[in-house]
Structure 1
Amino acid sequence: MLSLHTPYVLAHNFVNATDASPQAATAVADTHASQPIRFGESADGKDYLLPAEEIVGFNFLLNRFNYHFIDKQVYGTTLQSVRDNLHNKWIVDTDPFAVNQFMHPYQGSVYFGLARSTGLDYWESLGYTFGGSLLWEIAGETGAPSINDLVTTGFGGSFLGEPLFRMASLLLERGGKKPGIWREIGAAAISPSLGFTRLAYGDRFRSVFDSHDPATYTYVRLGWNKVDNLFDAAVSQNVKRNAATMDYHMSYGLPGKDGYTYTRPFDYFDFEFTATTANVFENIMSRGLLVGKDYAAGDNYRGVWGLYGSYDYISPQVFRVSSTAVSLGTTGQWWLSKTVALQGTALVGVGYGAAGTIHGSGERNYHYGATPQALLALRMMFGETANLDLTARSYYVSDVASTENRGTERIFRGDAAFTVRVHGPHAVTLKYNASRRDARYPDLANTHQTVNTLSLLYTYSFGDTRFGAVEWRPADGG
């Protein structure tokens, strides 16, 4: 958006760019030298063969590790087992929930990252992810190939892998032309595929993904939570009612920043991760705009809308749900006053999901099926003082495309968090979470489970004092 002072800014930039004084030349040279080398500026360009070789090598090493340390029968693949799998009917397998719904998507994110880190774009990398998954299903295990693994590894791997790749790349990009050792280590921890490529091939793939400088909001929360209410007599004795907890959250590409565009998949995404001492991974949730467009409504609203991809894994001790989905929806920000803003996302879509109980007596472990789902996430920001987050998620794991044509699961997850800034990036958060499961099967009694938790958390925000509010209004606007 142009304003009255735009001609002055353009003139000022032009004078600086054309200033031939030694001081100006030195400043320009120093600025250029400090900038990272981004994708598209490297002479090496893309490499289509290398990620294929790396994926084959990764699958081989993973198979050998699993054979020696996990299960010789499952991973003792031979030429005969490969030939059998090429002709076997694809099935929906019954591997443990965490293997199918977390390990396979993470394995897919490794395939995806190997392709992305050699310069390939999202869609090209998605093809390599499916190729790696197909190779694993045929030659990585002795059992019949699994269609659910192909979905979670392929689509789930890309929906998880792209945010990991972008977060790691952003950490490197903001470190200048030569990121320090801690940035390199941090990037490798976030995206091991990217870290491996940078370490193994040196300057050949030192170029960093060009983020286009998105508006971001990132925080880490550390603290304690207590199970406030539990309804499930069958598993209550296994529930840890007090636990330490850690949350990480990043919103990337928030709408409203002048000049930022949404031309690539996941130019907007939201990533959330929670770990607790009660059950390690309580949730991993990622959603991003696959194809969409930005829009405006008046002077005080900016947004994006389109097709989103999402991967969710939620496990609040007594039950769990996971889904890989596509949804239609929108994300936007509305300035309600000079200092108060409301951000929000609304999505409705369908995925392939799984849900079930944990430690249940006489009840099935989990159930697969087509999964209609919805999300509403709101964040009210009160200047630099406080913010209120409200999120509701709903999943219906149906009996369509299921492991068996019976039974359904309804899952609801709601969060409310109120954060008050103490000083600078430091804040205190009070959070309440409610999770509910209703399961119906013809040969089992109807099941109702709820678990609610109350958390007191220390919050550290990175690089933002307005809780992610994006400003596009003129300086005297409001």
Structure 2
Amino acid sequence: MNNSCVPSFLRAMAALLCFATGVCAAQTAPPETKDDTPPAPGYTVPALEIFGFDFLLNRYNHRFSGVTDYDVSLDSIRRNLHSSWVVDADPFKVNQLGHPYQGSMYHGFGRSAGLDFWPAMGLTFVGSAGWEIAGEQTRPSRNDQVASGIGGSFLGEALYRMANLLLEHGGGVSPFWRETGAAIISPSNGFNRLVYGKNLGAIFDSRQAPYYSRLQVGAMGTAQNRSGLSSLLHRNELQANFALDYGMPGKPGYQYRRPFDYFAFEATATTAGNFESVLTRGLLAGRDYEVGKDYRGVWGAYGTYDYVSPQTFRISTTAVSLGTTGEWRASDRIAVQGTVLAGVGYAAVGALNGVAEDYHYGVSPQALAALRIIHGDSYSFDLTGREYFVNKAQSGPGGHDNIVRVDAAFTARVKGPHAVTFKYLWNRRDATSTALGSRTQTRGTFGIFYTLLGHDGFGRADWR
């Protein structure tokens, strides 16, 4: 990177940082005015964009991947159109992280062209099927169709809304650097805004959604480890974590009329392997409710995409759940927030040994319980538990996996938006196979983080 590029890079990162934290809101650059007359929705432009994106991705992979999977021909397309769908064995990150991100690009093209969530999701599903048939010469795979066509929309909607939240609120930086930051978050939305301006890619109106955001940077060390079949382990690692809760219940006048009017997003990058986790859950359909004068909540059907890789094993699921999210105002200073979900999805799970791919697919009943206790503007305590039960009888030898993940964190404000967080993360996998018997993998890590809080502090809703 030459010297002239450094200020550009820093300004783009500043735009993302200001969006994440809200601490630049006092600067002078105003946010762009939202267009009250969004573009008329249409399928032609996003469909052509998806076709062009897939063509370029195929050509890139054909040139640089070193494999013959992308040697597509009319014969391979005809064969795939008439063949049965299979479960493929591509690398785990390709199938469970790359394909959902590819699907998020499809979804972003549709949303920024004016399509609502469900039509954009339908276009994403069709786009994924088109890639499976004509983007690769291998037989189309149903696991990729779930990851791209469904998980891609759950991930893509969160990215699309976060990009538009940056554009809407401004972040205190110039329009150019807001555009740059938003394009990094959702490249397909950024493409449409660059090429078509406000004719496509108009700013999505959040309707003043309340949101809580935080950015953490720190170090984690291994406190407990039972690696099982895994052979590689970085005992100490640096991590960066970003989390956003969007549309938290309780704000007067805020309504849940559109999918993902409430969602939670969290991603953790690590020096031990790129991404330790990417976690998204959003309300697909539901309504808000009140219990007395001290509790506000929403309930309904949620769509979730989870990717978890704590070095020793990994799991990824796309699921639909029923549940609720709410806040109880215990006193003037104490607020208790929580989410409870239970549902079923399609999951990939396996050991991470650094030598060969070892994973399988199955139907996955799963549950989540999240709790946050907020004490004024002083501190918060977060506790989240997830459990996945994966039946692998349909892919390989019979058996099942039971995975539990518990994340506990205590955050104390130091001054202004600056805080310190102590975190403990525990993951356990119990795998049973008719061929290999029972195996257990456990890893616990403890860390300390510098935390930059958003403009909304610890995220207590303003309704009392």
TM-score above 0.5: yes
Query: How much does 1:92 deviate?
Result: 1.2
Task: Tell me the SS of whatever aligns to 2:68.
Answer: helix
1:319 to partner: Cα distance: 0.3
| Match of residue 399, structure 1, among 392, 399, 412 | 392
1:294 aligns with 2:307: no
Q: Find the counterpart in structure 2 of residue 14 from structure 1.
A: none
- State the match for 2:37 in structure 1: 41
Q: Any residues of structure 2 matched to 1:192-271 within 5 Å, and which? A: 192-205=187-200, 207-232=202-227, 234-235=229-230, 238-271=232-265
* Contact 1:288–1:308 (CA under 8 A) maintained in structure 2: yes
Contact 1:172 1:179 (8 Å CA) reproduced: no
Q: Could you tell me which of 307, 316, 321 is aligned with 1:313?
A: 307
Give yes or no for the alignment of 1:468 onto 2:459: yes
Deviation at 1:206, TM superposition (A): 5.2
Give the whole-Å Cα distance in 1 for the aligned partners of 2:178 and 2:310: 32
Cα distance in 2 for partners of 1:292, 1:409 equals 31
Q: Does the CA contact (< 8 Å) of 2:397 and 2:433 recur in 1?
A: no
Q: CA deviation at 1:308?
A: 0.2
CA contact (8 A) 1:108 1:158 kept: yes
Q: Which moved more, 1:375-384 or 1:197-206?
A: 197-206
SS of the residue 2:181 aligns to: helix
Larger RCO (CA within 8 A; separation ≥ 6):
2
Q: CA deviation at 1:404?
A: 2.7
Describe how 1:122-137 pairs up with structure 2 within 5 A: 122-137=117-132
Correspondence list, 1:374-453, <5 A? 374-399=367-392, 402-404=394-396, 406-453=398-445
Distance 2:229 2:300 in 1: 43
2:8 — aligned with what? none
Q: CA RMSD in A?
A: 1.9
Question: What is the CA-CA distance between 1:35 and the residue it aligns to?
Answer: 7.1
Gaps of 5+ in 2: 1-29
Report the CA distance between 1:395 and its aligned residue: 0.3
The structural deviation recorded for 1:205 is: 2.4
Question: Offset of 1:233 from its aligned partner?
Answer: 5.4
Amino acid at match of 1:369: G
- Percent identity, aligned pairs only, is 51
Match for 1:160 among 147, 152, 155? 155
The Cα offsets for residues 379-413 of structure 1, whole Å up to 9 and x where unpaired, read as 0000000000000000011135x323512111110
Which residue is equivalent to 1:285?
Answer: 279
User: Structure 1 residue 65: deviation in Å?
Assistant: 0.4
2:308 and 2:366 map into 1 onto residues whose CA distance is 14
After TM superposition, the score normalised by the length of structure 2 is: 0.91
| Residue 274 (1) aligns with residue 265 (2) | no
Match of 2:110 in 1: 115
Q: 1:241 to 1:265 in 2, by over 3 A?
A: same
Give the secondary-structure state (helix, strand or coil) at the position aligned to 1:189: helix
Query: Which residue does 1:28 correspond to in 2?
Result: none
Residues 205 and 177 of structure 1, relative CA distance in 2, 3 Å threshold: farther
CA distance in 2, matches of 1:222, 1:352: 32
Deviations 1:328-363 (A, max 9, x none): 0000000011110000000000000011101178x9
Instruction: Determine the structure 1 residue equivalent to 2:15.
Output: none
Q: Equivalent residue for 1:303?
A: 297
Contact 2:112-2:201 at 8 Å conserved across structures: no
Equivalent pair of 1:434/1:452 in contact (CA under 8 Å): yes
Q: For 2:399 and 2:299, locate their aligned partners in 1 and report how far apart those are by CA, in whole Å.
A: 34
Aligned to 1:25: none
When normalised by structure 1's length, the TM-score is 0.88
Question: Is the contact between residue 330 and residue 346 of structure 1 (CA under 8 Å) also seen in structure 2?
Answer: yes
Residues 244-288 of structure 1, C-alpha deviations (whole Å, 9 max, x = no match): 110000000000000000000000000000011011100000000
State the distance in 2 between where 1:335 and 1:302 align: 9
Match of 2:261, as an amino acid? D
In the aligned structure 2, how far is the partner of 1:296 from the partner of 1:85? 52
Q: 1:37 touches 1:206 (CA, 8 Å); kept in 2?
A: no
CA contact (8 A) 2:413 2:420 kept: yes
Deviations 1:273-315 (A, max 9, x none): 0011011100000000000000000000000000000000000
CA displacement at 1:172 relative to structure 2: 0.2
Instruction: Give the letter aligned to residue 471 of structure 1.
Output: D
Conserved? CA contact 2:348–2:359, under 8 Å: yes
Q: From the CA coordinates, give the structure whose radius of gyration is larger.
A: 1
**Partner residue, 2:9:** none
Q: Post-superposition shift, 1:374?
A: 0.2
Q: Distance in 2 between matches of 1:140 and 1:175?
A: 38
Cα pair distance change 1:452/1:129, threshold 3 Å: same
